[in-house]
Structure 1
Amino acid sequence: MTGVDARREDAVDELREADLLAHGELVPAGERAPDGGLAAAPIPVRCGRPLLYPVPVGDLPVYLRRRAEATGGSYVGALFAFDLDALPRGQRYTAAWFEVTLADLRALAARLDGDGGALGLTYLADDAEPASATATHVVAATRTRPGWLRRLASRAGTPRAHVFGIHRHEFGWAYEDPRGELLVPRAHGMHALLELPAGTTRVAGTLDVRVRVAGGRERYGAGLRESVRFDETLSPGCPVDGAAVRLCMAADVSGYSRRSTTAAEQVQRDLVALLSRVRRAAGVPDSDVAPQPQGDGQFTVLPVGIDEAVVISRLVRGLERHLRELNTGRAPADRLRLRVALHRGLVKAAANGWVGVAAVAVHRILDSPPLREALAARPAVDFVLGLPDVLFQDVIAHATQPPLPADFAPVTVDLPAKDFVEHGWLYVGPGAAG
């Protein structure tokens, strides 16, 4: 889950002429009309000029940093965009594919992001803030491309992109819903992290677009008449905001409002002591944090510069161990059961607490139906944890210590009243010891 804002189709601006690489036509494949012409009219498509920006090795996710140190390659972020034309009444796009082929066979896609959340962008209202060091560079780069960050936001009622071709010079994104329940949008934005040979100064290749159309009795596929060529010179990059990206943690007690005043006081004492022990066991001393009390919950911003792979693993294992110890021997109604969420982003202390998109997004996850339902459906479980897709991709997907990737299940946080859609991951803690 990363705080990806829900967007309507009409909220995404069309590509500006200044940002266009080429106009093209998608030609129906296969069947011909009786007169030998095309079975359907060509579909206009507009391809944006790729936006490339350098990413310093020190700002890469840890697993790519290690790879860069071993291979000596350089890393470049790449933003792609295309617009499909509106179809005749009664027809709709049921699938769209965008493919990139790099001319240099030594170059490859080190990472492909299905949306802004996977990249590390957190959206609230019209703001997009970075939730990773890598994302700070895309935010800086897109100052010259108004509207491109919005293209990366998830949109309610549309399929999420599936990526293909990681670690290859040919790669792409597929937007399709086999069940036919979601609408494929007409305006798209995609992000890749490219690994290039050392000393590379230009990136060249071709772009291809394909679609599938349905409506009434008509069902057909169409693709570009000719691949669109691109050849871009690498720029030195733009200055980035010097603010640090920090990990945020929020916790909330289940069933707090049903307890008596005396019991609620005990719950608060237990919660504060528990979370302090958990953080210390993860290597975060009390002197490095300033937890924000919330009665039945707590919000904490962790220090700058922590090793997230180590800290997150220890936090989860600490929650398991200390909740088990606390709840052993307690009656079911007296157990401390928690919803916990993690997020990452630019936050800063203000007059009455922390401010920043990540500080809001972590509470969206914490209070979301997937976490509430998971805990309610498993009375023996001590806690559930939700985190955004960017943390899963950057940290959990490469974990060698529990929790491991297989321990998580994908979820979507869809909060229409908050205009918020977020793809993320759910971890269910172990059951009570008895």
Structure 2
Amino acid sequence: MRHPERRLLISVDMERYSRRTNLQQYEAQKHFRELLHEAAGDVGLDRVAWTTQQAGDGELAILPRDVAESRVIGRFVPELNRRLRSYNSSRVPAARIRLRVAVHQGLVHLDGANGFPGNAVVLVCRLCEAAPVKQALAAFPDAGVALVVSAEIYRDVVTEYPEEMRPERFRRVEVTHPDKGFREDAWFCVVDEDMSALPAAESAGAPSPAPVSTATPPAPGGGAPGGEPSESPATRTPPGAGDIRTGDIRVDGQNAIGHGATAIGSVGRDLTFGGGREGRAR
């Protein structure tokens, strides 16, 4: 067994893949790979050097050691979103390709007998499967990419380069998969979309009120999050399918990531979702 290596990981999943016909799945797979290759090439990333594990509706990619996280989040993801929007503009909804993209970093074994062993791999795949990210992408029919990053990536990359990463456009979310014993904080956005326009109840699938979280959202224009939330047992959201706790960041203007975008971030409201409940801001 070789020693594990610390690498940047990307998990990509296609929306509504299983609802396609055989022919539509065949075409979607073909164009999915083409769009990833073209977007990577346009920002100076060599997809040939990526170590990938393919699935019909997506892939897990382990990037080379020298790839900068900021290039992936600040340039590759926006370019992929731009290409997807252009591709989808001339196609009926059933033939469109829309993606969830998760980014994390950590130790991974590259010599596994049937994949890539490592908790970092498990985490990035769980983030990509998060129900709140799926719901957010579904709420914006014209969007191309919903991006979710781990708490480490948000802290070490997104908040450190605010002009390029635009941290005010992300929402904090607690991703839970109760049946798998998984619970982790993450941050997500829908690229080129104004997340403040997303109704809170719709994002959680929950219309009824609930206690608010004490999670502190990031300051406008960047900066590290204000620390972990302080919750009492009485206000903590119980485990359940689709439970999330998120800080809502209001953005005035186009909600995009990348060069040339302008937005004014302001601290919005803290919300708690879980099992059909919603809380109002403090």
Report the TM-score, using the length of structure 1 for normalisation. 0.42
Give me the whole-angstrom Cα distance separating, in 1, the residues matched to 2:140 and 2:79. Answer: 20
Percent identical residues: 35
Give me the whole-angstrom Cα distance separating, in 2, the residues matched to 1:382 and 1:251. Answer: 12
Preserved contact between residue 70 and residue 165 of structure 2 (Cα < 8 Å)? no
Aligned length: 191
Preserved contact between residue 281 and residue 314 of structure 1 (Cα < 8 Å)? no
Give me the whole-angstrom Cα distance separating, in 1, the residues matched to 2:109 and 2:41. Answer: 22
State the partner residue of 2:108: 347
State the partner residue of 1:385: 147
State the partner residue of 1:219: none
Secondary structure in 2 aligned to 1:353? coil
- Measured after TM superposition, the shift of residue 400 of structure 1 is 4.2
Preserved contact between residue 50 and residue 64 of structure 2 (Cα < 8 Å)? yes
Match of 2:122, as an amino acid? V
State the partner residue of 1:291: 52
- Measured after TM superposition, the shift of residue 281 of structure 1 is 2.9
Preserved contact between residue 28 and residue 97 of structure 2 (Cα < 8 Å)? yes
Q: 1:314 aligns with which of 46, 68, 75?
A: 75
Give me the whole-angstrom Cα distance separating, in 2, the residues matched to 1:401 and 1:282. Answer: 18
Give me the whole-angstrom Cα distance separating, in 2, the residues matched to 1:299 and 1:314. Answer: 19
Q: 1:275 aligns with which of 27, 36, 52?
A: 36
Tell me which moved more, 361-370 or 307-316: 307-316
- Measured after TM superposition, the shift of residue 421 of structure 1 is 0.8
Give me the whole-angstrom Cα distance separating, in 1, the residues matched to 2:116 and 2:45. Answer: 18
Q: 1:365 aligns with which of 106, 127, 137?
A: 127
State the partner residue of 2:15: 254
- Where in structure 1 are there 5+ consecutive unaligned residues? 1-240
Secondary structure in 1 aligned to 2:165? coil
Give me the whole-angstrom Cα distance separating, in 1, the residues matched to 2:14 and 2:181. Answer: 25
Match of 1:417, as an amino acid? D
Match of 1:273, as an amino acid? E
State the partner residue of 2:160: 398
Give me the whole-angstrom Cα distance separating, in 2, the residues matched to 1:282 and 1:348. Answer: 27
Preserved contact between residue 370 and residue 412 of structure 1 (Cα < 8 Å)? no
- Measured after TM superposition, the shift of residue 312 of structure 1 is 2.0
Give me the whole-angstrom Cα distance separating, in 1, the residues matched to 2:31 and 2:43. Answer: 18
- Measured after TM superposition, the shift of residue 327 of structure 1 is 1.3
State the partner residue of 1:302: 63
Report the TM-score, using the length of structure 2 for normalisation. 0.64
1:427 equivalent in alignment to 2:198: no
Give me the whole-angstrom Cα distance separating, in 2, the residues matched to 1:382 and 1:321. Answer: 7
Preserved contact between residue 288 and residue 302 of structure 1 (Cα < 8 Å)? yes
Give me the whole-angstrom Cα distance separating, in 2, the residues matched to 1:315 and 1:324. Answer: 14
CA deviation profile, 1:279-333 (whole Å, cap 9, x unmatched): 2234321331132110011110011132222332112221222112211211222
Secondary structure in 2 aligned to 1:398? coil
Give me the whole-angstrom Cα distance separating, in 2, the residues matched to 1:388 and 1:298. Answer: 18
Give me the whole-angstrom Cα distance separating, in 2, the residues matched to 1:325 and 1:401. Answer: 25
State the partner residue of 1:215: none
1:326 equivalent in alignment to 2:107: no
Secondary structure in 2 aligned to 1:306? coil
CA deviation profile, 1:99-154 (whole Å, cap 9, x unmatched): xxxxxxxxxxxxxxxxxxxxxxxxxxxxxxxxxxxxxxxxxxxxxxxxxxxxxxxx
- Where in structure 2 are there 5+ consecutive unaligned residues? 194-282
CA deviation profile, 1:148-179 (whole Å, cap 9, x unmatched): xxxxxxxxxxxxxxxxxxxxxxxxxxxxxxxx
**CA-atom RMSD, angstroms?**
1.8
Preserved contact between residue 339 and residue 384 of structure 1 (Cα < 8 Å)? yes
In structure 2, the CA distance between the partners of 1:249 and 1:319, relative to structure 1 (3 Å rule), is: same
CA deviation profile, 1:7-33 (whole Å, cap 9, x unmatched): xxxxxxxxxxxxxxxxxxxxxxxxxxx
The higher-RCO structure (CA 8 Å, 6+ apart) is 1
Match of 1:383, as an amino acid? V
After TM superposition, where is structure 1 displaced by more than 6 Å over at least 4 residues in a row?
Answer: none
- Measured after TM superposition, the shift of residue 259 of structure 1 is 0.9
Describe how 1:133-212 pairs up with structure 2 within 5 A.
none
State the partner residue of 1:266: 27
Preserved contact between residue 316 and residue 403 of structure 1 (Cα < 8 Å)? no
State the partner residue of 1:412: 174
State the partner residue of 1:193: none
Give me the whole-angstrom Cα distance separating, in 1, the residues matched to 2:117 and 2:45. Answer: 21
Secondary structure in 2 aligned to 1:395? helix
Secondary structure in 2 aligned to 1:430? coil
- Measured after TM superposition, the shift of residue 264 of structure 1 is 0.6
In structure 2, the CA distance between the partners of 1:329 and 1:389, relative to structure 1 (3 Å rule), is: same
In structure 2, the CA distance between the partners of 1:402 and 1:319, relative to structure 1 (3 Å rule), is: farther
Secondary structure in 2 aligned to 1:346? strand
Give me the whole-angstrom Cα distance separating, in 2, the residues matched to 1:369 and 1:245. Answer: 27
Secondary structure in 2 aligned to 1:304? coil
